[in-house]
Structure formats: structure tokens, C-alpha cells
A and B are shown apart, each in its own frame.
Chain A
């Protein structure tokens, strides 16, 4: 059985936009995982990337700027059987929604965040986003960027995300594999996706990532800036639930996340499968949470009266 994840809605991104690659990778990942479309709910915020849910044949919830995470968490906790994706831009997740981004890490709800990371606010015509480095002047900026950039990988790790990866929008196959791992991971996962914006980011372009500005003197071929962590023998996984190993793996990942410029790593930076998910934490308090989550609970009997035993609840307020 195969499922189509294309919704048929006209896609209005600019020609050459990195978003196309991310959309394809999401659709391919879900399709290869054979998840039924109705089990999937895709949440987004505001911006070009946040139109993504409309292009996917699955429940698609296009919310408000910066807030897709809390919407998604509410839905997932009410119905833990859902496969939940949060797809949003760097401005959405790391500026206006940064508080939610950090708080999500403390909970480890089983969902996957995909950040479309292009360094600019595209839909408002190219202002600097929180991942644009200081001093860079993309074409729509009147002056070079005055702010330093946030590091999404490091921020996710110290916030408690238990799967942290970076992909590249124009390496669809690699990105698809990352997304599959992220979705399969039990807990909150981040896939930060480097994504050229052909309209407003004239610095970190497709050509720049490919290293076309620098040629190997021996072969004459360009030297790509992007390399894969897995090719360098990097081991991101916390194998034992041991504090020392967790600390070591976190430090390794953060050190890797600081690489930029000539060599930019993609792949899995960090994975810790030993942290209980929020759903597991809830189950320890509400034993039948999994079988009988909020969305599946019956609330009224046939005569439309509450199903809960109200008399029992009121006992402690009785005056006898």
C-alpha cells in the first residue's frame, strides 16, 4: 500500500526555492514509512515555509506566527496516536517562537520540528532572521546585520531536544533519511534545514553551499562547503543513560554546530533515546492515558449526562 502525500494545491513559492526540496523530502519520508495520511498532523506558523501543510495530503494546521509548537503539543497530548510534524521558518521558531522552542525541549513530547532555515524573513521582503550572522548584508538589508545569530543546533541540545539534526534542502535523499529517523525517534526532534532563498538571501545561495566560488586547484572542481557528519565517523548517539556520556555527546555536538564557513556539517548531531517522553511521564500518573487519552474519552452517557461520578468528586466538600 502506498499513499500520496500531495494535496494538489498550487504551490506559490518562488522558482528555485529551497522549500520545494524540503516539501519533497517530507512527502517521501512519510510515504516510505507507510504512515496513513489521516494519522499525520502537520502544524506550521507564518511565513513562506508555513504554507507547507496546505501542500501535503494530511491534516494541515497553519497557525499563527511563532506558535505552531504549542498548538502541536496540545493536539499530540490530547491524541498521542497522531504523528505530529511542526514545519516552520527560522524566524517563526527561533525569534517570535523562541520561548516555545526552548520550552518544548523540557517536555520531550514525541513530535518532529522541521526548521526551514534561510536566514531571512522572505514573505515580508527579506529582513534579517535570527539565524543570519552579524555583519552579513543580504540584498534587501539597508545595512549589514547588527545582531548575532542564534545557533539552532546548540539551542536545541541545551534545551533538551533528544534528537538534533541538520539537513540541506537540495540534498533531498539525505534530508528524507534524516526526517525518517527524526519521526521514528521517540521524543522531540529537530531537523534544522539549510535552505537557500533565491529571492532575498544572495549570500548563502545554492552556489555558495556548493562552494562554486572556490575551486580545487588540482581538479578545477568546486569544493562544497557542506559535508556529512556520518562520513566523518561522528557518533551522535548516547548509548548508555549515563550522565558523563550525555555530557560528552552534548559537548561534541555543540562543538560541531559551531563549524561554519568553509566546512558546514549536516547529519545527526545528537540523539539521546533514554529520556522519557512527556507521554511516558503522563502515563506514570494516568495509567490508562495511552488507551484512553482525552480525544478518545467518552464524556456523556446515552441520556447526555456526565459519565464521571460527580458524587464521588464532591465528597470532600460535603457537610455531614
Chain B
């Protein structure tokens, strides 16, 4: 039986290479022409706690994970206990037979409450308290069990690769688990071999060893369980020029393309990956035709990645860099953004283009630091003292995040204000196949800068203009000396407390937001999927996009006429268009990863229209495609007003 999408999962202790193995799996699928979406769940921990990775592969586009797993690869007891029940009938579990006798109570890394729940469930089925009892339970559900004696196999592999130390080879158990999965799925070994080579590119010896081990396991599984699984996975032909990329990397590439040349950051999960990638790529080549253009220009460009002492220094150093005319940004998560708001207010007051890339995670406080949530929308919109113009913009998937990272730079500079670009953990830590980013689709729209030659007389940094935009100058340039202050100021930038001047300056600043609202086209502010005259409108923002899109076809098949509106621009809000779409809707279903329906609140305050139904999730796990489908169905068909999704492990 060939599926239109295959869901594979691997779990294991953090630090045991689960992440790497999953990337090898995803890449092998992608190299076979398949589209993949992979997502990562992990504890705030370095080594030992449970982490897992889910990969969805299909010849069609996939944009979200699934809670229903076809094939589970495991090499420890905990993964079996936690995930066996997610495996669908006719699916399979690969496990180490040496763990079956383990006592579930003695697995130290599982929360006590969780263990209690598992034992209670086993007891209700008349089963005991060992790993084998979990396997017994899933056997009743027609789940195929494939024991893989890792240690015995490693002994054989040890001879094969002439490495007598088994402890060194132990690191390959995750690749063995991947290879066993491909063997069961009868997926061409060549792709796995290529994927391993690509993953261990610079470490040829290790690559060879892993390929050999993988091959050995592949053949072993063929011989022992060759036809155990009814499911199979076939490569497909893909003509498109594709890449496999993570959310943080996509944004980082967008920053380099969009001209960001200064990035500051203080380490925080899940934002830090972006800055680490940027630092790794700090020197980059310029287009060959560009080299000829100017002799002063080097052959390469560069970005300075500045690791600061805290997030206050991150936002302020980026702002300082921006004052020199450099495109500057910082990347953080909720707790870091909390520290940044005073600096944000200063940037607003002094009309400095600076971008904060905000990767939301589970809050409040430290919350669920490695888990997902979308609970910082209102904070991003209102955080900071006083009233100042800002743009708040949210991306929904890995591919658009690249192009959006350029757009937000353009907005910041054209309207001379801070921009908060909101993403989230689910998007940051996922990988997806997408079309290779197209530089011809990237336009760099610079802000208005002046230099001495443009000036008739003296330079007024905060000159009153109709659009509210006063041409900027760069620190260090001749003839354009200016002053900045967090105090209210005159056109020069000197302190004033004059009430009339205050009004004029306040109105000038705030006017920029009207200008931005007018100039930025609707297609950048929101995306409409389906006919917006449909009776049921799903509104959402950020990463639930993938799950919603993946469920739209199914909803239509069920006869649910639905249109999905992805809101990207939160401020200035696309009031007119949203008003037009929502005023005709019978049902408005708001889908968000938070408790209170924050987008719903914005819609209400902007339009006076409130979503009629909420599909919410705040357990730290992203919305799966099944959940999006069932959530929207419950709202539309059963008329449930508030649906809380609780899926995920």
C-alpha cells in the first residue's frame, strides 16, 4: 500500500543524535524527490531528556506535522512508551528487544504524572507495568513490531568497519534506526547513502562508517522482516529546483539577501540558531557583476554578528548600528523581547529603522522554553512605554519567512521605525522542502537618505513633512550633523517641552503609520486561500498556516465551504480588506496557538467584529494537520464556540 503521505518519527535521549538522524531521514526522502516537513520536540536540557522528531514525506506539498505516525524508529524504552500509541493500525514500531522487560516506573526522565497516566491506562487494559505491556497493547491495534537487536548488530558492524570499540560505534544506533525504517518501507538505499554523505560532508571517514552500518542494517531488515510492513515509500521525480531548510536559516538568509549587515543577539532558545548560522556565514561572496561595479568594494560582503551581554545591549547596539545607515537587526524570544522594550520605544521616538526578529516560545516567564506558543502578539504590538509607530509583521511558513525577512527591512527603512517580525518555535525548528529562494523576487527598497549635496541649508533630522517621513542622514557623513534624544524634540533633535511642538512632532511621527498603511499593498498584508465569499472564514496568523492549508482539501471534501485568511500585517492592520471579508461571513473561526485568541482581540478592536469560534492550543505543542481539520470541523459543524486542542507528546 502506498500512502499519499508517510509520517515517520524517531525518538531518543537528547544528545543521542536524534536530530541528526532525522535530518538524514528527511534529506534522503527529499533527495528522492519527495516533499518533506520535519518538526522537532525537545526539553530544555542538554543530555538525557526525551526528544523526538517527526518527518512527513509526500509527493505532494506538506506543510505540517501529524500526530498519527506510520512508522516509529526507537532505540530506547522511553520512546516506545511515549509514542507507541501514536502509531496507526498497519503501521510499525522498530524497537530494541533488550528494553522490553524494563519497568516503566524506573524510566527516570518521564514526569511522574505522565508515568501515572500511562500505568493507569495499561491497568485499565488489564496489562502490567513494563515496556512489553505497551507493545502488547499496540499489538491489539495491528501495529507491526520489528525488534532490532542493536548491540548484536553493532558487533557484526564492528568487524565490518574494523573498529573494535563498540562504545564508539554506539553513536550510530540512530542511523541504524533510520536505515531499518527505510528498509521496511523498501525505499531505495541509494538515497540514504547520499544523504549520509551530504550530512557528514567534511568527515569522510565517519560518513563511510555510517553508510556501511546503514547498509548492513538495511540488508538485515530485508532478510528478517522484508515484507513485515504493508506500507511503502517510493521516490518520485521532482523537476523543481528545491532546497531543504529550517526556519531560522531561512530568516538568516533573508537577512543577508535583504542587506542586514549588523546583527546583535543574546543567546536564547529558539532564536539563537539564526545568529549562529549568520556568524558562520559572516563573509559572503557578491555577485560577479557587482565586483566590477566599484573598485572600493571588496570582493566579498560581510555581516557583523555581535553577541551582547544582554538583550538590552542587543536592541541598543543594533539601533546604534542603524544610525550609521547600516541595515541592522536582532533576534530574540519572549524573555529577551521583554528586556528590549525600552530600547524599542527609543527607536520609535528617534525614528530609527531596526528590526527585531521575535521567535515566540511558551510563556509566561520562562514558561516552556523549548516549546511552541503564539502568545506574544499583543505584547509585540503594545510593548513599550508611550505611543510610537511600529510595524508588526508575522510570517506563517519557512519559505515566506525568507522573503518576509527582506520586506521587514524595507518597511523599517522606508518608514523609519522599529519593526517586530514575529515567528515562533514551530517555524524556527522545523525543516521543509521548498522552492529554492529566488533572488529576482527580492527587491531592496531603501529609505530616504540625504547627504550634504542634497541640502539647500541646514539639516533638520526631524523635518515636518506631509508623509511624516523626514529624510535620514548617517552618522559620520559631512554636512548632516543631527541630534537624537529620547526626550521630545524639535526638528533638529534637541529637547523640547513646548506643547505645540510636541503635538506637531507626535503627529508627524504617527502619520508615518498612515503612510505605510496606504503604500504597502494588501497582498503583503494578508493572504487569502479560497473564495473569500465563503460562509466560513478561518482567520489565523503564523505557523498554524501549514496545518490549516494541509486540512483545506479535506474540509472541502467534507462539504465545508471554507476560506482561510492568513493575517501577516498586524500593525498597520489591513482594516478595510479584513472588514470586507469578515462582514459577510456566517462563521469566523480563529485558529491560534494561545489561550486567549489574541488575533481575535485585534480583529475585535480594529473592526468591531468578533470571531464567532475559537480553535486554540496552548500546551506547548504546535497544531497538527488532523487537529486543524477536526478543530475547524467542530467549530463549523458542531458549532462549538471554544475548542481547545490538546494533542502532542
Chain A residues in contact with chain B, CB under 8 A? 9, 36-39, 41, 43, 46, 51, 53-54, 57-64, 67, 69-79, 81-82, 99-100, 102-103, 282, 285-289, 291-292, 294-301, 304-314, 317-319
Contacts and interface: CB of A to CB of B under 8 A. Distances in A.
12 contacts: A41-B475, A46-B486, A64-B342, A70-B313, A78-B262, A100-B313, A103-B308, A282-B304, A286-B282, A294-B262, A301-B289, A306-B442
B306 to A, nearest CB: 6
Contacts of B320: 43, 61, 70-76, 78
Contacts of B283: 285-286
B326 A62 contact: no
Interface in B247-264: 249, 253, 256-259, 261-262, 264
Contact of B243 (A78, A300, A318): A318
A128 B324 CA distance: 36
Nearest to A318: B243
B361 interface: no
Contact of A319 (B31, B285, B287, B310): B31
B200 interface: no
B128 interface: no
Contacts of B325: 295
Contact of B245 (A63, A100, A304, A317): A317
Contacts of A64: 316, 342-343, 346, 486
Nearest to B310: A99
Contacts of A294: 261-262, 302-304, 321, 324, 326, 328
A64 B485 CA distance: 8
A319 B191 CA distance: 11
B302 A286 contact: yes
A308 B324 contact: no
A299 B327 CA distance: 9
B477 A38 contact: yes
B273 to A, nearest CB: 14
A313 to B, nearest CB: 6
B281 A313 contact: yes
B459 to A, nearest CB: 11
Nearest to A36: B478
B469 interface: no
Contacts of A311: 439
B321 A309 contact: no
Contacts of B304: 77-78, 282, 286, 294
Interface string B296-320: 1111111110101110111011111
A304 B249 contact: no
A247 B381 CA distance: 51
B299 to A, nearest CB: 8
B27 interface: yes
A280 to B, nearest CB: 14
Contacts of A37: 481
B474 interface: yes
Contacts of B243: 314, 317-319
A308 B436 CA distance: 16
B321 A78 contact: yes
A100 B309 contact: yes
Question: Ordered nearest first, which 3 A-B pairs have the shortest CB separation?
Answer: A74-B320, A299-B259, A74-B317
Nearest to B452: A38
Contacts of B289: 301
Question: How extensive is the interface on chain B, given as a class?
Answer: 35 or more
B324 A295 contact: yes
A78 B477 contact: no
A67 B313 contact: yes
B167 interface: no
Given A282-B304, A285-B282, A307-B286, A103 B244 contact: no
Interface of B: 27, 30-31, 241-245, 249, 253, 256-259, 261-262, 264, 281-290, 293-294, 296-304, 306, 308-310, 312-314, 316-328, 342-343, 346, 406, 433, 436-437, 439-440, 442-446, 474-487, 493-495
Contact of B484 (A60, A69, A288, A317): A60
B446 A317 contact: no
A299 B325 CA distance: 11
A312 B253 CA distance: 11
Given A59-B481, A305-B443, A319 B261 contact: no
Nearest to B434: A317
A75 B321 contact: yes
Contacts of B479: 38
Scoring B289, B302, B439, B476 by chain A CB atoms within 10 A of each residue's CB, the highest score goes to: B476
A57 B293 CA distance: 36
A62 B487 contact: yes
Given A51-B495, A299-B327, A305-B444, A74 B318 contact: yes
A300 B324 contact: no
Contacts of B259: 297, 299-300, 306
Given A74-B317, A304-B444, A67 B343 contact: yes
A99 B253 CA distance: 32
Contacts of B262: 74, 77-78, 294
Given A61-B483, A305-B444, A318-B436, 8 more contacts: A61-B475, A64-B342, A70-B314, A74-B328, A78-B324, A298-B297, A308-B286, A308-B287
Contact of B445 (A9, A288, A304): A304
Contacts of A77: 262, 304, 306, 317, 321
A308 B284 contact: yes
Given A74-B316, A77-B306, A103-B313, A297 B261 contact: yes
A59 B444 contact: no
A309 B316 contact: no
B317 A71 contact: yes
Given A74-B262, A75-B475, A78-B321, A308 B301 contact: yes
A38 B481 contact: yes
Contacts of B312: 67, 70, 100
Contact of B475 (A46, A79, A307): A79
A75 B323 contact: yes
Contacts of B258: 299, 306
A103 B261 contact: no
Nearest to A39: B476
A301 B444 CA distance: 9
A308 B287 CA distance: 6
Nearest to A66: B312
Nearest to B242: A319
A296 B327 CA distance: 11
A82 B476 contact: yes
A313 B486 contact: no
A53 B482 CA distance: 10
Contacts of B309: 70, 99-100, 102-103
A273 B296 CA distance: 30
B321 A74 contact: yes
A82 B484 CA distance: 17
